[in-house]
Amino acid sequence: MKHHRTAIVLFTAVILITVLASSQYLGPKWGNAKYTDAYRVLLDGKTWFYIHDQDLVEELLVDYKNEYLSRIGEDVTIKTARIKQNIEIVKVDNYSGKLHTEREAREEIHSCAEEATLLEVREGDNLWTIGRDLNLTVDEILALNPELNEESVIYPGDQITIKAEKPLLDVVIVYETTMIEDVPYDTVFINDSSMYESQRRVESQGKAGKVEKRYEITLENDIEIDRKTLQSTVISEPVPAKVRVGTRKAVSRSGSNFGIVRGGRLTSNFGTRVHPVTGKSKFHKGIDIGAPHGSPVYAYSSGTVIYSGFMSGYGNFIAINHGNGLVTRYGHLSARQVKVGQKVSTGQKIGAVGSTGVSTGPHLHFEVLINGSFKNPLNYL
């Protein structure tokens, strides 16, 4: 009887061992699950995923930071490079849940919290109007779209980024770098009564200065969020430009008021044209301003009348010397109200619009000469 009970105990032990072996028992619990040691990865205190290898996670995080570091220039000194979020790796004994593979862990680390926002360009859009409508500066738009610059042309249907994607993990990099920068020069304006208000003459060119600056720059996900000047050394001082500015009065153009005649319209430009009477191509030395017969004609600026009479082709004709090589001439007049040698002031009435000489209708022919060379009068009105 004793031997029989021993046999039963041994048989039961064999059965129990077989059952336990078939259940792949690896810990204090048993059943259908497989238990192993694992690592729990926490993101800002919350469980993110589980994995079998702590070193693997740390390597993947280093690789992630290095991707951002690789996009920084070579001539810099990296001070810090860190992931902004708090990541903890905690060992877990006898874990029976899902373990992330290396590929799955890498995908988690590279995932986005928010996708980038894109804008489709419409007819008439440019970087400045888009920035105005979205309260963004052009520099901010260019930072989001590194393939563009201020000269880039965008077309309807193009897509540009107006909000960067938000990665799940933010990489903050602080580095130091030295840059040589231009220092803008000032412009000194010198009043010159011998020149007209519309005239400018550069007396000497300006030259930008140079300064060497040492910066501490902070990037977050490739975007600069802070810049501190650590050191600034002047290499050369800027040299100001000097520009002479005319103060002499002259009539000015506004709409249908050409200054020399009012209520007119431009009927013929300066330059080569087909003559309205002869039909031949000929250089037109001035401009024609169509205006009603008898409309007042005014002196361009103060000066001395050097011609007042009839001239072939021009009809009734007046010429005024304004000094400094400037002469203005007025043709096809119906009346002349000044004489040779007479002093005239800016805007003084000197005659009236007509159609004398070779003319197809009432208009003022106006010429400008500088040191004997004909110039486009529209550049002086």
Q: What is the CATH number of the domain that holds 295?
A: 2.70.70.10
% of the chain residues with pLDDT over 90: 69
User: Burial of 151 by CB count in 10 Å (0-12 exposed, 13-18 middle, 19+ buried)?
Assistant: exposed
* Pair 340, 306: CB distance under 8 Å: yes
Looking at the structure, do residues 288 and 189 belong to the same domain, yes or no?
A: no
- The number of CA neighbours under 13 Å toward the Cβ of 356 is 21
Looking at the structure, do residues 297 and 338 belong to the same domain, yes or no?
A: yes
pLDDT tens string 191-226? 988 787 777 899 999 999 999 999 999 999 998 899
Is there a domain that residue 7 lies in?
Answer: no
Q: What CATH number did the domain enclosing 132 receive?
A: 3.10.350.10
User: Burial of 80 by CB count in 10 Å (0-12 exposed, 13-18 middle, 19+ buried)?
Assistant: exposed
Looking at the structure, do residues 178 and 158 belong to the same domain, yes or no?
A: no
Is there a domain that residue 4 lies in?
Answer: no
- In this prediction, residue 199 carries a pLDDT of 77
- In this prediction, residue 11 carries a pLDDT of 54
Looking at the structure, do residues 374 and 279 belong to the same domain, yes or no?
A: yes
pLDDT tens string 275-311? 666 666 788 899 999 999 999 999 999 999 999 999 9
Is there a domain that residue 179 lies in?
Answer: yes
Looking at the structure, do residues 160 and 187 belong to the same domain, yes or no?
A: no
Is there a domain that residue 350 lies in?
Answer: yes
Which of 206, 221, 248 represents a domain boundary (last residue)?
Answer: 248
Looking at the structure, do residues 270 and 374 belong to the same domain, yes or no?
A: yes
pLDDT tens string 222-276? 988 999 999 999 999 999 999 999 888 888 888 889 999 998 899 988 888 666 6
Looking at the structure, do residues 271 and 374 belong to the same domain, yes or no?
A: yes
Which of 192, 216, 248 represents a domain boundary (last residue)?
Answer: 248
d(CA 85, CA 51): 19
- In this prediction, residue 207 carries a pLDDT of 96
**Predicted confidence (pLDDT) at residue 23 exceeds the cutoff of 60:** no
* The model's pTM: 0.56
* Residue among 363, 361, 362, 367 at smallest CA distance from 381: 367
Cα dihedral sign, 145-146-151-153 = negative
Quickly state the pLDDT bin for 24 (edges 50, 70, 90): very low
Is there a domain that residue 202 lies in?
Answer: yes
Looking at the structure, do residues 35 and 51 belong to the same domain, yes or no?
A: yes
Q: Give the range of the structural domain holding residue 312, as residue numbers without chain letter.
A: 265-379
Is there a domain that residue 257 lies in?
Answer: no
Q: Which residues, other chains included, contact 324 with Cβ-Cβ below 8 Å and sequence gap of 6+? A: 194, 195
Is there a domain that residue 343 lies in?
Answer: yes
> How many domains would you assign to the chain?
4
**Predicted confidence (pLDDT) at residue 19 exceeds the cutoff of 50:** no
pLDDT tens string 34-57? 678 899 999 999 999 999 999 999
Quickly state the pLDDT bin for 324 (edges 50, 70, 90): confident
20 or 66, greater pLDDT: 66
Looking at the structure, do residues 202 and 148 belong to the same domain, yes or no?
A: no
Is there a domain that residue 159 lies in?
Answer: yes
- In this prediction, residue 52 carries a pLDDT of 94
Looking at the structure, do residues 370 and 271 belong to the same domain, yes or no?
A: yes
